[in-house]
Amino acid sequence: MGRVTVRRKTTRLNGGHRTERVDTLAVEEPLELRVGGESLQVTMRTPGDDFDLATGLLLAEGVITRSEDLVNMRYCAGVDENGEQTYNLLDLTLAPGVAPPAKAAKRNTTVTSACGVCGKDSLADVRTKAAWDLGEDATTVRADVLASLPERLRKTQKVFDKTGGLHAAGLFTAEGELLAAREDVGRHNAVDKVLGRALRDGLVPLRGTVLAVSGRASFELVQKAVMAGVPVLAAVSAPSSLAADLADEQGLTLAGFVRGDTMNLYTHPGRVA
């Protein structure tokens, strides 16, 4: 598997002092995803957990809803200048009867580690694809448990400790038990990896869970939570207006600025006790 970090020489300036040192950087590399041999998209990601990433992406697009819908994943041939396998091309095979991604889901450009689902800002698109009704989820989460999740997630960020350059996403039970955590240069990739892992473990729809993210709550992260059946999304930073609109419409409890013992509940606050 590809490297997660690399070492690089740097020049550090500190006041009037200049020193040479070696720093650790998070790796960012392209991953091309193909479905049945046809290119779906190229996304920039941190290598590792690529099968989870691909599974989570197809779940977020509404292509699959259970692990049986995806029958095979394999790396295709691809080598770097040293003749080593790059693991940057992944081919996915859907089960018979599972419709391939619609043309609207296919990206003709690279999805960067910052953008997520670029241009997919339609509430109606999620409304028609969501397989789970979050309004039927009676999950409640204690406020102190919700407030503790960012710190619990932070403790899982081993690569962030070395680089300071990765986002994180964690899936927890309503009681605060960690189910899965992933890091990536892209916040949307980290979420795809977590939700993809959950689907591969047969846990979707994710009733009774909380998705915690290390950054802001964007539209695409709310979309992914809705598509996986997650009833509560907690972010350490702010949500966007469209994220709040989508969460409100779909029955998702959206918490922002979850820091210390304070938080803002933007939608469906009744789930937080």
Are the beta carbons of 140 and 269 closer than 8 angstroms?
no
SS3 108: coil
Q: Which residues are catalytic?
A: 115
Could you give the C-alpha distances from 219 to 15, 42, 223, in angstroms and in order? 41, 20, 6
Residue 186: CA atoms inside 13 Å, Cβ hemisphere, count?
28
Question: Distance of CA 186 to CAs 16, 69, 190, Å?
Answer: 35, 26, 6
State the Cα–Cα distance between residues 221 and 227, nearest whole angstrom.
10
Tokens of 258: 């979850």
Asked whether the CA dihedral 228, 120, 90, 95 is positive or negative, the reply is positive
Name the phi and psi angles at 199, rounded to 5.
-65, -40
- Residue 46's Cβ-count burial label (10 Å; 0-12, 13-18, 19+) is buried
End-to-end CA distance of the chain: 43
